[in-house]
Amino acid sequence: MEKKKEGKIMYQAFRTERYEKEYGKLDYLDQGRIIKFEQKLKKDHYSSKPLGYIFFREKKCNDKRLLFLIYEEYKTLFFVAITNKKIQQININSILKNLDNFKEEIKRKLIFF
């Protein structure tokens, strides 16, 4: 299940429904940029900025911020929100309140993957 890329383990990546909805509202160019960022993060997830915890991070993509969780034990990234600077803190607080729910959701996704 682990994929190696240039000596590094390539992580799996999943998206929340919310992330998918936010992604779907973006224009074609932003969607393309985000896909490239997601691919890079699967190989080098620590190139992003931590948000209070080593496993909760953001990656800037122009005026957008990709918020995601890293599950080392599953070698998995979970993209949870696309936000902007204005409402970023609201999204961060919401994600932090729901960490247990996100972990359960990723476990369910891994069972069916």
DSSP code at position 45: G
Instruction: Write down all domains in the chain, each with its CATH number in brackets.
Output: 3-112 (3.30.2310.20)
Give pLDDT tens digits for 5-59.
444 789 999 999 999 999 999 999 999 999 999 999 999 988 899 999 999 999 9
Against a cut of 0.95, is the pTM above it?
Answer: no
Determine what percent of the chain falls in helix, strand and coil, rounding each to the nearest 5: 50, 35, 20
